Every structure is written in structure tokens, then in C-alpha cells.
């Protein structure tokens, strides 16, 4: 059996790290090393991981000063001994067959560099919120990935180690978009293979980096700008569609959380930008347009004191 390295960056994750580690330790594929990179936690994360490591020798923990998830993942890559690498956030969950199914597909398809599965969103109580993209994109998936990040999050993929050696590690200047940047670099050179079933449960929390829509939008657009600067032919072919998709995504992210005037204003800004780029997409979805406008307008009416409190 080949060794699979699971890399888990953790920062102040005491409330979720046990459940996350339990879902990794329960994998039907058992030849794992489970590397927790403590990113300067100031709570009991390290003590919890140490206790679990006493019961499972596959678990180990390395502590560093806080540097962000991209640097933490890169530190995990440096520590990893496996021929295959998987990354997991310290608050997400896997089904028990996730690694086994993904590894089987990569073994069956040596031309593929990355395997991914379908994702569902859950809240802090493990309650189902909504399905992820659920897009099946086997083979060369770059064009689909440019117009919609169907991998959905950083807890999804299994990657051959030599692929990362070729395309490079995570870019620490791009949080929380370093995942998508990595998947695009891989997709430019390697095929993907999909396991078309939900195997990743992505937890949505107000403290998540992706909940900071201003930062998310800035780094997402930076990823697109940088990628298209190296692939001008794809910008001509897909640029408008790709940027329109991002602005739609920012619109929905702005109104999915707690009401605030800032998020309402952001949603309206992103919405009108998305419409200007691809009006035909919205013209087919008038009910959605009304929902967005009503919700975003409601957000803008939230009193400033309440917005600050949220």
C-alpha cells in the first residue's frame, strides 16, 4: 500500500479539530500519515492533537508561529513522506471512503494528477446547508475551472506529490484564494479525475477566511489576472465569462451571512458588475435577480450600530 500524507493546518481549532481528525482516522484506506501543522494556536489545539496522537501513531503535530494556511500547508508538504498528498482544513469532515476512492481513481488513471469529489456545505452543528458545485470534469478541466471553481474548497483533492514538485507550492500572498490558484496551475498541465459522490463536508463559519468577501474578491481577481497574463489566448476565449462568474460568486457570498450594511453595499456593487459583463445569464433568472436585489437592499438598511455588532 502506498503512503498518503494528509496535511491539516490548524489555528485555534479546539472546537473542531477532534471531529476533523476522527473523520481522517476513520478512513477505510489506512496507510496514512496525518500531519497537523499548528499555525500558532493560542487555545488547546496542540494539547488535543497530542492526546489523539497517543492513541494513533499516524498522527503527528508540528508547531510554528502564525503565518497563515498557505504557509502551513507548505510546511506540511515539506514534512510529508507520502507519494500522494491531501489537504484538509481543521473544521471540515470526510466520508470514510474519500481517500480510498480518490486513490483508486488516480491509480486507474496514471495520466491524471489530481482527484476530487463532490462537496456539501454544513454549519457549525453539522447541519446540511446546501450542495456544492457537483460538477463532473474528468480529463483536461482547465476551461471549466476558470469559469467556476467546482473543486469548492481546500479539503477536497488528492494530488500526486510529483505534480506539486512541478507546479510549485501554495502562494502565501493569496489567502483565501491560494487553493484555486494551485488547482488552476495543476489543471494547466494535468488531467483531473472526479469521484461523483459527496465525500467532503465543508463547514461554513463566520470566522472562516472565505467569509471576508472584500479580501476574497481581491485575491480571486488577482488569481485570474495573473493566470490570464500567462495565457492570453484563454483570456480572449473565456475572460468575460470567468470574471462574470467571479462577480456572481462575490454577490452571493456577500448576502449569505449575517446582515450588514457593508455586505449589502458590496453585494450591489458586485451584482451590477456581474450584470454588465454577462447580462444574458441574469436575464434567464429574473426571480434570482429579485431575490438578490431585495436581500442586498435589506442589508443596506441595517443600522450602522447593528452592522458593526454583526
pLDDT in tens, 184-242: 999 999 999 999 999 999 998 765 555 689 999 999 999 999 999 999 999 999 999 99
Quick check: pTM over 0.85? yes
Range of the domain at 104: 4-210
Choose the final residue of a domain: 210, 226, 255: 210
pLDDT of residue 75: 98
Choose the final residue of a domain: 161, 193, 210: 210
Residue 137 vs residues 6, 100, 114, 144, 240: alpha-carbon distances, Å: 24, 19, 11, 8, 21
User: Are residue 134 and residue 248 in the same domain, yes or no?
Assistant: no
Q: What number of other Cβ atoms are within 10 A of residue 207's Cβ?
A: 10
pLDDT of residue 21: 98
Low-confidence ranges of the chain (pLDDT < 70): 206-211, 304-310
The H or E element that residue 91 is part of is none
User: Are residue 136 and residue 230 in the same domain, yes or no?
Assistant: no
pLDDT of residue 308: 45
User: Are residue 90 and residue 175 in the same domain, yes or no?
Assistant: yes
User: Are residue 206 and residue 237 in the same domain, yes or no?
Assistant: no
User: Are residue 99 and residue 161 in the same domain, yes or no?
Assistant: yes
Radius of gyration for the chain, computed over Cα atoms and rounded to the nearest angstrom? 20
User: Are residue 21 and residue 160 in the same domain, yes or no?
Assistant: yes
Q: How far apart are CA 10 and CA 12, in angstroms?
A: 7
User: Are residue 195 and residue 302 in the same domain, yes or no?
Assistant: no
Residue 166 belongs to domain with CATH number: 3.90.550.10
User: Are residue 80 and residue 171 in the same domain, yes or no?
Assistant: yes
pLDDT of residue 208: 57
pLDDT of residue 211: 64
- Residues contacting residue 286 through CB under 8 Å, at least 6 positions apart: none
Q: How far apart are CA 224 and CA 218, in angstroms?
A: 10
User: Are residue 194 and residue 232 in the same domain, yes or no?
Assistant: no
User: Are residue 234 and residue 152 in the same domain, yes or no?
Assistant: no
pLDDT of residue 207: 59
- Residues contacting residue 287 through CB under 8 Å, at least 6 positions apart: none
Burial zone of 96 (CB within 10 Å; 0-12 exposed, 13-18 middle, 19+ buried) = middle
Q: How far apart are CA 161 and CA 114, in angstroms?
A: 10
Task: Give the chain's domain count.
Answer: 2
Amino acid at each position: 500500500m502506498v503512503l498518503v500524507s494528509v496535511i491539516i493546518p490548524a489555528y485555534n481549532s479546539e472546537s473542531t479539530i477532534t471531529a476533523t481528525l476522527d473523520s481522517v482516522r476513520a478512513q477505510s484506506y489506512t496507510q496514512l500519515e496525518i500531519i497537523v501543522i499548528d499555525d500558532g494556536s493560542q487555545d488547546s489545539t496542540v494539547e488535543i492533537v497530542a492526546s489523539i496522537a497517543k492513541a494513533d501513531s499516524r498522527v503527528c503535530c508540528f508547531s510554528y508561529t502564525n503565518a497563515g494556511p498557505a504557509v502551513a500547508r507548505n510546511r506540511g508538504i515539506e514534512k510529508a513522506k507520502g507519494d500522494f498528498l491531501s489537504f484538509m482544513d481543521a473544521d471540515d469532515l470526510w466520508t470514510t471512503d474519500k481517500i480510498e476512492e480518490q486513490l483508486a481513481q488516480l491509480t486507474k488513471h496514471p495520466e491524471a494528477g489530481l482527484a476530487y469529489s463532490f462537496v456539501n456545505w454544513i454549519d457549525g452543528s453539522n447541519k446540511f446547508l446546501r450542495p456544492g458545485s457537483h460538477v463532473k470534469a474528468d480529463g483536461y478541466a482547465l476551461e471549466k475551472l476558470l469559469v467556476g471553481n467546482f473543486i469548492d474548497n481546500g479539503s477536497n483533492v488528492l494530488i500526486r506529490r510529483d505534480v506539486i514538485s512541478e507546479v510549485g507550492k501554495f502562494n502565501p500572498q493569496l489567502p483565501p484564494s491560494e487553493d484555486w490558484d494551485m488547482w488552476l496551475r495543476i489543471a494547466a498541465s494535468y488531467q483531473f479525475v472526479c469521484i461523483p459522490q459527496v465525500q467532503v463536508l465543508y463547514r461554513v463559519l463566520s470566522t472562516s477566511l472565505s467569509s471576508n468577501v472584500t479580501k476574497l474578491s481581491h485575491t480571486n481577481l488577482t488569481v485570474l489576472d495573473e493566470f490570464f497574463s500567462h495565457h492570453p489566448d484563454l483570456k480572449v476565449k473565456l475572460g468575460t465569462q470567468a470574471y462574470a462568474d467571479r462577480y456572481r460568486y462575490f454577490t452571493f457570498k456577500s448576502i449569505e451571512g449575517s446582515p450588514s450594511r457593508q455586505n449589502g453595499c458590496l453585494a450591489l456593487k458586485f451584482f451590477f458588475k456581474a450584470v454588465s459583463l454577462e447580462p444574458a445569464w441574469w436575464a434567464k433568472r429574473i426571480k434570482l435577480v429579485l431575490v438578490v436585489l431585495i436581500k442586498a437592499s435589506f442589508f443596506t438598511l441595517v443600522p450602522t450600530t447593528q452592522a458593526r455588532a454583526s
